[in-house]
Amino acid sequence: MPTLEVLAYAKLNLSLDVLGRRPDGYHDMRMVMQTVALCDAIRLETGTGRPLSMRSSLGFLPADGRNLAAAAALALAEETGADYGGLAIALDKHIPVCAGMAGGSADAAAVLRGLNALSGLGLTPERLEEIGAKVGSDVPYCVRGGTVLAEGRGEVLTDLPPLPACWAVICKPPFPVSTPELFRALDALRIRRRPDTAGLIAALDAGDLAGVARRMYNVFEDALPPRRAGEIQRLKNELVQQGALGACMTGTGSAVFGLFGSEAPARQAKAALEELCPTCFAVKTAGKLV
């Protein structure tokens, strides 16, 4: 039976701005997204002769269409008429859940890329992104990867000059943040500070890593409950004290990251931060995926 192993790469938000609530209930976003080399591993097997099956290394994750990886396979079949002859998906999770790193969307995107290759569908990256948008707002970006301006719900993508090669130290504190609650809190706020998205893009144009790092900001940090806001700020401060060029929360959290110019200081910072936050990663940034 044909099999393929694919990697699902996490994303970080170098900036995140919420422009307002839309009539359809979604929000208009303006975000600069970046792929990093922290990834889940997915094994796809077609021709099983059985209904779609899915298993995950994390037993609490859904193993049906509620899981975005399975939802992506179903959406691809519906959009293209593809017949997998039975499909099994095995998911080995490494991207933290409830972290703001698009772990589920990355899995969905990897399934779309993998089944496109395994089934010989020959779909363009743009078509995969269109199908991905039906699965989740972050899926089109996760199909593409790299350094990208994401607008609309997150599905309107514009390639940006790549972030200069660097390392990210990512800290996932031991608590989740509710995305719906955070959006509701943000809707009730007068946003005091917004990211300098134009300045960040100009720094990317100039290849200025320090300039990018100085301009990183996420408006959701203002909407966090006070206790959580303090814990996020503490991690950001510690990352900077350990040598990060800048630090920011990604997505709706709760993961926080700092950018480092090279591997050695990043690994030293990771070792220091593990005392404060045991779930830490030091990873390279990555480029486009398609």
pLDDT for 53 equals 93
Residue with the two structure tokens 């966090």: 224
> What dihedral angle (degrees, nearest 10) is formed by the CA atoms of 113, 114, 118, 121?
-20
Residue ranges and CATH numbers for the domains of the chain are: 3-159 (3.30.230.10), 167-284 (3.30.70.890)
Q: Is the pLDDT of residue 217 over 90?
A: yes
Q: Taking all residues of the chain, what is their mean pLDDT, rounded to a whole number?
A: 96
Q: Which of 93, 138, 236, 270 is catalytic?
A: 138
pLDDT at 205: 98
> 125: closest CA among 102, 96, 151, 159?
159
End-to-end CA distance of the chain: 25
CA angle at residue 138 from 132 to 142, to 5 degrees? 75
pLDDT, residue 26, reads 87
Amino acid 7 reads L
pTM for this model (two decimals): 0.95
Give strand ranges (E) for 100-230: 147-152, 156-159, 167-171, 217-218
Share of the chain above pLDDT 70, in %: 100
User: How big is the chain by its Cα radius of gyration, in Å?
Assistant: 19
E strand segments, 127-197 = 147-152, 156-159, 167-171
Mapped onto helix, strand or coil, the DSSP state of residue 249 is: strand
194: pLDDT strictly greater than 90: yes
The string of pLDDT tens digits covering residues 107-149 is 999 999 999 999 999 999 999 999 999 999 999 999 999 999 9
Token pair 């993508």: residue: 157
Quote the pLDDT of residue 124.
97
Q: Catalytic pick from 11, 93, 172, 236?
A: 11
Q: 3-state DSSP: the chain helix, strand, coil percent, rounded to 5?
A: 35, 30, 35
Residues ≥6 apart with Cβ < 8 Å to 25: none
DSSP conformation class of 66: T
Residue 69 has pLDDT above 90, yes or no: yes
C-alpha span between 185 and 176 (Å, rounded): 16
Is 11 catalytic? The answer is yes
Known catalytic residue at 134: no
Nearest Cα residue to 72 out of 113, 43, 23: 113
Torsion of CA 103, 280, 37, 144, to 10 degrees: 30
Please give the single-letter amino acid code of residue 78. Answer: E
Residue (of 38, 142, 172) closest to 94 by Cα position: 38
Q: What is the pLDDT of residue 25?
A: 83
Residues whose CB falls within 8 Å of the CB of residue 232, separated by 6 or more in sequence, listed in order: 173, 221, 224, 249, 253, 254, 256
Question: For 48-52, 63-67, 68-72, 254-258, which range has the lowest pLDDT when averaged over its residues?
Answer: 63-67
pLDDT of amino acid 190? 85
Report yes or no: 98 and 176 within 8 Å, Cβ to Cβ.
yes
pLDDT(1) > 80:
no
Backbone φ and ψ for 26, nearest 5 degrees, come out as -80, 175
